[in-house]
Amino acid sequence: MFGNGTIISGATTMDRLVLSFAGLAGRQVFDRTGLKGNYSLVLKFSPERPRGTADAAPLPDDAPEFFTALQEQLGLKLQPEKSLVTVFVIDRLERPSEN
């Protein structure tokens, strides 16, 4: 379950968990932990506010940023690395003709 600054899982694999981190990290995330099995966890962090939403619902002042919360609460750390990634580019779109 994902909420405003909270991730709660009853039983998830590390592979599935790191897929959810991509949006929060702003890039692809790969599981290099080698951890197997299912994990139950609660992660509380201060989500980034989209620009222009200063008057949105208040967030907890004591919640750490995502990267800090990940390390302090779960003992996980995201390490940047360079790797090759397949990218597909659509340069043109044609609507099918009616036949």
Question: In the chain, where are the structural domains located?
Answer: 2-74
User: What pLDDT does 76 receive?
Assistant: 92
- Enumerate residues 6+ apart whose C-beta is below 8 A from 93: none
- In a 10 Å sphere around its CB, with 0-12 CB exposed, 13-18 middle and 19+ buried, how is residue 21 labelled? buried
At 86, list the tokens.
């397949």
Of 56 and 30, the one with more pLDDT: 30
Average pLDDT over residues 6-10: 89
Asked if pLDDT for residue 81 goes beyond 90, the answer is: no
For residue 58, name the pLDDT band (cuts at 50, 70, 90): low
Per the prediction, the chain carries an average pLDDT of: 84
Give, to the nearest 10 degrees, the angle between helix 14-25 and helix 66-74. Answer: 150
Overall pTM surpassing 0.85 (yes/no): no
